[in-house]
Amino acid sequence: MYNLYYICMRNRFVMFIRCMDAQITNNFREAEIYTRPAQGNGLWTCALLPAILIFYDNIYKVSPLYKLITCVSIGLLAHSILYLLFFYVSCLVLRDTLNAGCFSAAFLSALPIYLKLEQSLVVAIALPLMAIYIFTFFLKLALVKCPKTFTIGEAMLVSQGMSLIIVTMIARVVLGSYYPDYAETDATMHLINTYVFTVFSTVGLLVAVLYNLEEYNRTFDKLVFIISLALLYTLIVLHVSYGYNCIPAFVYFIFGNSVRVRLFCFWLALVLLSVFIIVVRTRKGDRANTVTRKVFHLLATLVFISGILLDVYFMTLAAGLIFCVLILIEAIRKSKINPVSPFLQYAFDIYKDHKDSGNFAMTAIYLYVGLACPLVIVPREAKNPELELLSGVLAIGIGDTAASWFGEKYGTMKWPDGNRTMEGTAFNVLAQMVAIYMLNIFDLLDSPYMYIRTAIAATVSALVEARTTQVDNLVLPLVTILAFQSTTIL
């Protein structure tokens, strides 16, 4: 195992990437731009999301909107690589506005949109340029305005995700109005998309308002007033988008189905338990260790594993809405509004991970995104998608949690140049296999070749977890999806 590791590290391509990584780190230090402290910049992570979308686009007959977003992601990948080459030379590109590289990358997306998807020239040019502009905005914001919060790879991955989400929202509204192929034909997904995108836009406006709020207006009464206006805005948009029965339809969607009612009660109980644990621990003032934080991994895993296997539609709606709530809570924590912000800050100080060295509580948000991202990325047209939908649950909810507990308690043999143990890595794979076996025993999961596919994907994710210095919660679910995709030949 050790010999194999060192052979891989001496590979010429790997050596070039490591030298490039080191040079980029030096350039960032000279420019006084501080990324999250880590042994590497995670340059490879910028290819994860586009690779997954391209793979699904080629093996399944996905929707026209999915194809469109895949084409846009090609341009984002090209622009990310261009940025890495720029960073290798200098970091001055972060101080500039849009450059010629933006138009070159946009062209790589515009060509297949125009020729393959047969969209108008305006759409083929406008959407990729918009996506690259949004990506550039978030990348500069992450690296320059949020010091020590992201590595370069994490910043690129997050910026790609935000860009694709916003472009999806715009394309769904604009193209869905003029092209029947881009309109949502599934009534349930239409309801879910309407509510999630509306709440997402509302939270975006709330974050902008809180960020620009004057110091004397940072009071609890003003916060209540702003949130009340936001709720009114949400109701107006929903009324215009979905009709006068927008609220009754939402209530009936949840409480008009017995399975969803039971899921709702189960999730509510887990949320209340989580709040109780946070309040008790915060009052004691004891710093949480790694094993303690993994309790929330297990609670979140119970939510997602029950939702994905019993009602994936309800899980998608809940995941989208709660993600918006998490963003809003983080914005309120940073807005310094008494007495809410100090309590949230104190709870963050108690539970923060050592990787939360920057301005924001990214590890908790990454955990949620990692568990939920397969719901967005895996297309509905995929055959037997259960394992891929469970990628986040298996990789970080079960595998990473098991590896952390077992490695800390019983691990003795450490991986070269790291603090992860080989025993923890082995238990990571074993835990994922046992989880799949138990789900099969209780007739909750039955997918072709699921044990072989899980063994391959679990091994890949466990090895990446053992070696990567990037945030596990963000990259492991995507790596696991890619690993499951590689097994589709079975």
Q: Which residues pair with 421 in a beta bridge?
A: 414
Q: What is the pLDDT of residue 420?
A: 83
List, for the chain, all residue ranges whose pLDDT scores fall below the cut of 50. Answer: 1-2, 5-7
Residue 225 within a domain: no
pLDDT at res. 355: 67
In a domain, 234, yes or no: no
What per-residue confidence (pLDDT) applies to 93? 75
Query: One-letter amino acid identity for 462?
Result: A
Confirm whether 277 is domain-assigned: no
| Structural domain contains residue 406 | yes
pLDDT value of residue 98: 58
Q: How many domains does the chain have?
A: 2
Look at residues 183, 210, 231 and tell me which one is the last residue of a structural domain: 183
Tell me, yes or no, whether 192 lies in a domain.
Answer: no
| Within-domain flag for 236 | no
Domain boundary at 167, 183, 199, which?
183
pLDDT of 349: 75
Q: Which of 183, 212, 227 is the last residue of a domain?
A: 183
pLDDT at residue 199, rounded to an integer:
92
For residue 21, is it within any domain?
yes
pLDDT at 41: 87
> Per the domain annotation, does 420 fall within a domain?
yes
Residue range(s) defining the domain that contains residue 139: 9-183
Categorise residue 370: left if φ over 0, alpha if ψ from -120 to 50, beta otherwise.
Answer: alpha
